[in-house]
Chains A and B, each alone.
Chain A
Amino acid sequence: MTKPEPLLDVRNLTVHFPVRRPGLFPRQPQLLRAVDGVSFSIARGETLGLVGESGCGKSTTGRAILQLLQPTAGSVRFGALELTSLWRRRFGAAVWSRELRELRRRMQMIFQDPYASLNPRMTVEDLVAEPLRTFRVADAAQIRQQVRDLLAQVGMDPRFRRRYPHEFSGGQRQRIGIARALALRPEFIVCDEPISALDVSIQAQILNLLTELRRTFGLTYLFIAHDLAAVRHISDRIAVMYLGRIVETGPSEAVCSAPLHPYTRTLIAAIPLPNPAAERARVRLAVRGEPPSPLNPPSGCRFHPRCSLAIARCTSEEPQLEPLAGEPERFVACHVVHGSVGPVLPR
């Protein structure tokens, strides 16, 4: 059975930021390896969850996929188009070509901070109508009607459309942002930590909304978050990132109930459960130390300084993301998991 072409196919995506070092004389800038060779694909209608802690590069990955920043290297195929080749140079700066701009109609983003992602000087109507007006989708009256419909679909009363963002709560502002992202009827939406800035009791509302909209509009999501429980809930598959690379991928349930990569296991072990008995019974697998800086990643496997299973090979050779024998859906980047043996390094 041939698998259908994925909607999004990312190969070796790399984003490096040069960081100017302080000093009187210009020196070779250091490279911040925010995203360092990330590959995955998403099928139409699927939701891939991208999980990791701060500094792992997940937000940068999302933006690089949408070409909101220009990738340093790698390929991003959206349908039949290679997005990285759609940049042009004008006055010495890299800008979008017309086709890349047109692609906004097919791929959109929902942002994390509901306070910062809406222009405080624009009314709700103007905010949601902006994409429609930019692409001249319809005449003015029709656009106003579409805005009313969109607001209703995200659970906002359309009568509030002449109000300003600061008059709403965080959850409501997020709904406005979602309405705006849906306006052009995109096929693919990158959700960049859409619920992290919201109150707990509102997070579930927005998660349910996103699930419902996915069904209604046949959307494909890349769901980026650090809250693994929320990601597990909404995603079909999960990819775990650490320091710019993916360390594990697989179906959500499998990754969460039977994690393979040592980092995934410590991540899951660190999540507190709202269940006192379970909390008391847990074996503390707290990982030691903190994530190193993406300016200077460790040699070999990036997790090896904090890993309790590290062997000699892990310090010199970076493991590749490979499928597990017998479970073609599950990919892990770890020498030990794939069978390498050796004495465990002292820490």
Chain B
Amino acid sequence: MIAEQSASSSADDVLVGSSLWRDAWLRLKRNRMAMAGLGVTLALTALSFGGPFVTHALWGYDYESQNLAYGARPPSAAHWFGTDYFGRDLLTRVLFGGQISLTVGLLAASVAASIGTLYGAVSGYAGGRIDGLMMRIVDVIYALPYMFLVIVLVTIFGKSLPLLFLSLGMVGWLMTARIVRGQMLSLKEREFVLAARSLGVRNYTILFRHLIPNTLGPIIVYFTLTVPSMILQEAFLSFLGLGVQAPRPSLGALISDGAQHMAVFWWELVFPGGLMALLLFSLNFLGDGVRDALDPSSRGRS
């Protein structure tokens, strides 16, 4: 009675379809800049986590062993990035710093995304006075000076790593909440939501099965663009001395030290800064690519 769309006469019982995620992934793969960004990010991640083992195996370096005799040496065959004032191998320190930046960035962004999504979804779906109240809370926190807030949190909770990214995440969830709530407000008027209600589906099921999956697009895009932002914030905090504590290196701390001796020991600034810049560039390209890939306007209607 109905003509098949594809003349597939295989013996398959079921013809598997191509979900929107798969379409988006295919589109992303075609975007060379984004793929380059992804590649570089993965490479840097591998280097950051694997590199220190190699340098330790090859030369016995780690991030804190000092060798004052070799203090402040420019790049050489033994020390590819040179050494810092205390004779510590800069390459190893930079790689360790990368570990911390990536970990902090990813974890903080994840915390922010999770809290923000849940908060925004509930607020947007509930609507009315509950929504108003929840969004006013967001407005108030948003209005507080960010640095002040972080400094207070760090002062209260101390300068430990997990609490660092918790503090970062706590502030970062606000934007996600706003975005998700906005998405909710428009999505809940869509006809497929009305259809689900008319089928008798319960509210919380509608929220998790129908609404949140359809907001994942903007959430993911915002996530990939939040990670570099978190890395930068951590670097800034470390630069101020509020983040990761010495002797553990973080890119921000390294840049801070390097900036002090910039005129004389240029490698102490160039390498950590370069790595940071490379990381941020590639994450941003990836984020742009993800946004383009998930762009609904390029998805066709039959």
Task: Give A221-243 as 1s and 0s: 1 = Cβ < 8 Å from B's Cβ atoms.
Answer: 00000000000000000000000
Contacts of B20 in A (CB 8 A): 120-121, 164, 166
Interface of chain A residues 134 through 163 with chain B (CB within 8 A): 134-135, 155-157, 159-163
A169-B302 in contact (CB<8A): yes
Q: Which residues of B contact A164 (CB under 8 A)?
A: 17-20
> B56 interface residue, CB < 8 Å from A?
no
Interface size on A, residues (CB 8 A): 46
Of B114-122, B188-196, B224-232, which stretch is located at the interface?
B188-196
Q: When A121-B19, A166-B20 are in contact, do A130 and B301 touch as well, CB less than 8 Å?
A: no
Query: Closest Cβ of chain A: how far from B34's Cβ, in Å?
Result: 22
Closest chain A residue, CB of each to CB of B17: A163
List the B residue with the shortest CB-CB distance to A132.
Answer: B199
CA distance A109 to B214 in the complex (A): 23
Q: Could you show 30 A-B contacts with beta carbons less than 8 Å apart?
A: A68-B197, A68-B198, A109-B198, A113-B191, A116-B191, A117-B192, A118-B192, A119-B196, A119-B210, A119-B214, A120-B20, A123-B19, A131-B199, A159-B12, A159-B13, A159-B14, A159-B15, A160-B5, A160-B15, A162-B17, A163-B15, A163-B16, A166-B299, A166-B301, A167-B18, A167-B302, A168-B302, A170-B302, A180-B195, A180-B199
For chain B, residues 208 to 258, give those with C-beta under 8 angstroms from any C-beta of chain A: 209-210, 213-214
Contact mask for chain A residues 165-203; partner B; CB cutoff 8 A; 1 contact, 0 none: 011111010000100100010000000000000000000
A residues contacting B by CB (< 8 A) are 66, 68, 91-93, 101-102, 104-105, 108-109, 111-113, 115-124, 130-131, 134-135, 155-157, 159-164, 166-170, 172, 177, 180, 184
Cross-chain contact of B301 among A109, A115, A184 (Cβ < 8 A): A115
A68 CA to B200 CA in the complex, in Å? 10
Interface flag for B2 (CB, 8 Å): yes
Q: Inside 8 A of B202's CB, which chain A residues have their CB?
A: 134
Tell me the nearest residue of chain B to A123, going by C-beta. B17
Residues of B within 8 A of A184 (CB): 199
Contact A130 B201 (CB under 8 A): yes
Tally of A-B Cβ pairs under 8 angstroms: 107
Q: Using Cβ atoms and an 8 Å threshold, which residues of chain B touch A157? A: 2, 4
Query: How many interface residues does B have (CB within 8 Å)?
Result: 37
Q: How far is the CB of B217 from chain A (nearest CB, A)?
A: 10
**Is B17 within 8 A of A66, CB to CB?**
no
Interface residues of B (CB under 8 A from A): 1-2, 4-5, 12-20, 128-130, 190-192, 194-202, 205, 209-210, 213-214, 299-302
Decide if B199 touches A134 in the complex (CB within 8 Å). yes
A residues near B190, Cβ cutoff 8 Å: 116
Structural contact, A155 and B213, CB atoms closer than 8 A: no
CB distance from B202 to the nearest CB of A (A): 8
A93 to B126, CA, bound (A): 10
A117 to B198, CA, bound (A): 11
Q: Contact: A109 with B15, CB < 8 Å?
A: no
The CA of A240 and the CA of B281, in the complex, are separated in Å by: 63
* Residues in B neighbouring A92, C-beta threshold 8 A: 128-129
Whether the Cβ atoms of A68 and B15 lie closer than 8 Å is: no
Please report the C-alpha to C-alpha distance between residue A163 and residue B14 in the assembled complex, in whole angstroms. Answer: 9
Q: Decide: B302 and A134 in contact? CB cutoff 8 A.
A: no
Closest to B213 in A: A121
Residues on B with beta carbons closer than 8 Å to the beta carbon of A135: 200
- How many angstroms from the CA of A166 to the CA of B20 in the assembled complex? 8
- Measured between C-beta atoms, what is the minimum distance from A327 to chain B in Å? 36
Question: Cα distance A102–B202 when bound, in Å?
Answer: 11
Q: Is the CB of B15 within 8 A of A116?
A: no
Tell me which residues across on chain A come within 8 A of B199, comparing CB atoms: 104, 108, 130-131, 134, 180, 184
Q: In the bound complex, do residue A130 and residue B196 qualify as a contact, i.e. CB atoms below 8 Å apart? A: yes
B13 touches A131 (CB 8 A): no
Task: Give the distance in Å from the alpha carbon of A159 to the alpha carbon of B10 in the complex.
Answer: 11
Select from chain B the residue with minimum beta-carbon distance to A121.
B213
CB-nearest residue of chain A to B201: A134
Decide: A68 and B300 in contact? CB cutoff 8 A: no
Q: Which residue of A lies closest to B210 (CB)?
A: A119
What residue in chain B is nearest A116 (Cβ atoms)? B191
> With A and B bound together, what is the CA distance between A177 and B199 in angstroms?
11
- A121, B214: Cβ atoms closer than 8 Å: yes
Bound complex: CA A307 to CA B128 (Å): 42
Closest 3 CB pairs of A and B: A163-B17, A104-B200, A116-B191
A172 and B4 alpha carbons, distance in the complex (Å): 11
A75-B213 Cα distance, complex, nearest whole Å: 38
Q: Which residue of A lies closest to B2 (CB)?
A: A155
* Further contacts, 16 of them, CB under 8 A, given A91-B130, A102-B200: A68-B194, A68-B198, A92-B128, A104-B198, A119-B196, A119-B209, A120-B214, A121-B213, A130-B201, A134-B201, A157-B2, A159-B12, A160-B17, A161-B14, A164-B18, A177-B195
Q: Which residues of A contact B130 (CB under 8 A)?
A: 91
- The closest CB in chain A to the CB of B214 belongs to A121
Q: With A and B bound together, what is the CA distance between A180 and B13 in angstroms? A: 21
- Which chain A residues lie closer than 8 Å to B205 at the CB level? 134
* Minimum Cβ distance to chain A for residue B49 (Å): 34
Contact indicator B198/A108 (Cβ below 8 Å): yes
| Separation of A121 and B130 alpha carbons in the complex (Å) | 28
Partner of A117, one of B16, B195, B200, B301: B195
What CA separation (Å) do A159 and B5 show in the bound complex?
Answer: 11
In the complex, which residue of chain A has the Cβ closest to the Cβ of B198? A109
* Docked pose: A92 CA to B133 CA in angstroms: 15
CB–CB A111/B15 < 8 A: no
